[in-house]
Structures are given as C-alpha cells and as structure tokens.
Structure 1
Amino acid sequence: MASDECKGKSSWPELVGVKGNVAEATIERENPLVDAVIVPKGSSVITDFRCDRVWVWVDENGIVYQVPVIG
C-alpha cells in the first residue's frame, strides 16, 4: 500500500522546523483520519504501513527534523 492510496492529506513538509506538539496537532486537524505520533530521534518504530498513522520525528529539542508522512 502507498500513501497515494490513503485518504486526505498525506505529507506535511511545511512542518519541518516546528515543535513536535504543534506538528502533531496540525496533522490531526488537517487529516482527522490519522493519528500523529511524536517519535524522538534515534527511536525504533514499527515498520508496517498504515494509512491512519503519521510518525512525527523530533530532535533532542522537540523540533521536527523530517517530513511527516502517512505510513
């Protein structure tokens, strides 16, 4: 399955550089079908693809450093 098969907005490049909690709220507001999950840099995550999940990768300062995408 690919992100183009999921409903609603699937990528948030404009959120790189913002606080993780702000990004989480923005993602869930812009696509209510997903659950945004903040993940600290260096953490391990499940690698299965899901249309209802967005990993929000944050650095040691809680700032998004990678484009959040559905998956």
Structure 2
Amino acid sequence: MQKQVIEFGGEPVGIVIPDQDRLKFIAVKFHVIDLDEQRFDTPDDVRSAIRDLVRARNAAPSAHV
C-alpha cells in the first residue's frame, strides 16, 4: 500500500502511510493534529478516531477570554 489521503467532511485532513505493519497517520490540518503520527489498523479506524476527536471538541465547553 502506498500513502492514502484521509478526508473528513469532504476535506483532506491527512494521509496514512505504511509503518511497522500498521498505518501511520500524518495530519495536515490543525484540528486533527492530536492524531498526528498515531498508528491505526485501517483507514476506517483513522476516520473513526477523527470523528471521535471532532465530536469531543465540539461537546467541550469553550473557554471565554
């Protein structure tokens, strides 16, 4: 497998590359940077992690300055 683009909401947010018998996620958008360089079994696992991350951020109360 070569690199594969990962999209979320119709927007490319990173790529996965083969690494240590798994797929390493390389983030290219700031809102998914927390997942950068994490390893996953499948591209669908990456998308699920992104979805969970975005949901958690949207559910968290924002700090007011």
Normalised TM-score (structure 1) = 0.30
Per chain length, whose mean CA-contact separation is higher, i.e. which structure has more relative contact order (CA < 8 Å, sep 6+)?
1
Larger radius of gyration: 2
Q: Choose between structure 1 and 2: higher helix proportion.
A: 2
Q: Choose between structure 1 and 2: higher strand proportion.
A: 2
